[in-house]
Structure formats: C-alpha cells, structure tokens
Structure 1
Amino acid sequence: MYSENFLQLVKYALIGILGLIVDFGVYMIFTYFNVDVEIANVISSTCGIINNFFWNSYTNFKVHDRLLLRFISYFLVGQITTVFTTGSLFIFVTKLGFPHLVVKIVATFVAVLIQFVINKVITFRKSRD
C-alpha cells in the first residue's frame, strides 16, 4: 500500500522524535546549569545523533555492513547540521536575543529534513555486493 521510501520516512521521523527527546533533554539539562546554548547544543545534538544512528541502522534501513563507515558518514552529516543549528543559536539567540527554545526547534526541524535526504542517499544505501 505505501512505498518503502514513505515507510522509511515515517520510521525516520519516529526515530527522530526519540532522538529529539534525547537531544532536547540533554540540552535542557545543560542550559538549566547555565552552559552556553552553543556548547549545550553541540553536546546534546551529538547524543541525539549517536542514538538515532543505531535505531536507524538496525530498525529502519536495516543495514549493518560497514557499520563503522556508515557511523562516520551519519555522524559527519549530523555534525554538519549541528553546525547549522549552533550557528542559528549563535545568530538568533546570542546576537539577536530570540528565545533559545524557539530557535532550537525551528533549526532542528530544518536540519532533520536535510539529514533524511543525505542519510537515505549516502549513509544507508544498500550495498551492491
């Protein structure tokens, strides 16, 4: 009934929600203790990226070969989008004074869309072996 791509997107979104819980939970803990939003974002995003890689690898895309290379690829894609969200926080929160949670939510939403496309095409493509 639904295409494999659509089902993977739905699973990716559900796993992403779990990752957001990890990300925002860690972020809130760090910001509660007055850690700079940029530093809190790098740490929390990294935790979410690691969490999501393993869930996507084993339950969504179901590819386990070359796991270290796939992890490096996923992690680098995640860190590129972490740079995007951290830059957004720096510009809109630190420089312009916007509320940090609003900026984090909007920037994270954009980052997730970018990540899905790149990870679907590169990180979790099936081997031709």
Structure 2
Amino acid sequence: MTATDAPAKGQDLRQLIRYALVGGSGVALDLGVFLLLYNVLGWNEQLANAISTSLGITNNFILNALFTFDKRDRLLIRFVRFYIVGLTGIALTYVLFRVFSDGLGADPNLVKAGSLPLVLAVQFLLNRKWSFA
C-alpha cells in the first residue's frame, strides 16, 4: 500500500460506515412499515413490501445524498437511478417471497427480514458505482 492509498482507503471505510448507518435507518423504516401493513392492517405481503421498500428507498436517498456520498447535484437524475437500484431490492425480495413463502411455506416476516442483508449489499455496490458516481 502506498501513501496515496491510505486516504482513499480511509474515505472508503468512512463511506461504508455511513452507508451502513443510513441503511440501518432505512431497514428500520422499511421493516417497521412492512410489519405494520402486513401484520396489523392485513395487506398482501407483496403490496406491503412495495410500499415499505419505497419509503426506505426515499429515506436512504435523502440521507445518502447528504451524508454518505455528499452529492447535491443532479438530484432528480440521482433519485431516479437510486430508485431503479431500489427496485432491484423489490424484485429480489419478490423472488424470495415466491420461493420461500409461497413455495416452501416460510413466514413472510422471516423472509422479509432475511432478505435485507442481501438487498443492502447489492444496492450498495450499484448505488456507489451508478447512482452516486
């Protein structure tokens, strides 16, 4: 590692930590709204997931634009890209619901909770390389 690599590595780590913290707030919002819509209001798990994930995506875009990636230009374009990346999370979770909940009879609450780390990792990579590049 050269002397010029150290600042970049430190910045990458700070960015990852911020992304994880922002992601945590989005996960809490997403999961909380999902549990409310699905368990309390009795909505279909796919509809509850689409609504809860959309709220999490919007929360995370605002916080990531301000604190993680420090990007305030081209916000509409960035939001559209960020939302498209977020749709990958909805699609991935949809597939997991179909396989584990519908196909294998797993509890949708567990499927939703179990999908979150995988979705977070995929979306970080896509957002870093495309939405906030």
TM-score, L = length of structure 2: 0.89
CA contact 1:42–1:86 (8 Å) conserved in 2: no
Aligned positions of 1:18-29 closer than 5 A? 18-29=25-36
SS at match of 1:3: helix
- Stretches of structure 2 that go unaligned for 5 or more consecutive residues are 1-5
The alpha carbon displacement at 1:103 in A equals 1.1
Please tell me whether Structure 1 or Structure 2 has the larger radius of gyration of its CA atoms: 2
CA contact 2:37–2:43 (8 Å) conserved in 1: yes
CA contact 1:23–1:47 (8 Å) conserved in 2: yes
Distance in 1 between residues matched to 2:123 and 2:75, nearest whole Å: 18
Aligned counterpart for 1:60 among listed residues 63, 68, 71: 68
Distance in 1 between residues matched to 2:48 and 2:104, nearest whole Å: 18
What residue is the counterpart of 2:3 in the other structure? none
2:93 matches 1:97: no
The alpha carbon displacement at 1:36 in A equals 1.1
Question: How high is the sequence identity, in percent, across the aligned residues?
Answer: 31
- Stretches of structure 1 that go unaligned for 5 or more consecutive residues are none
Aligned counterpart for 2:49 among listed residues 41, 45, 50: 41
Question: Which ranges of 4 or more aligned residues in structure 1 deviate by more than 6 Å?
Answer: none
CA contact 1:38–1:90 (8 Å) conserved in 2: no
Distance in 1 between residues matched to 2:126 and 2:84, nearest whole Å: 11
TM-score, L = length of structure 1: 0.92
The alpha carbon displacement at 1:94 in A equals 2.1
Deviates more, 1:22-31 or 1:95-104: 95-104
The alpha carbon displacement at 1:50 in A equals 0.4
Q: How many residues align?
A: 125
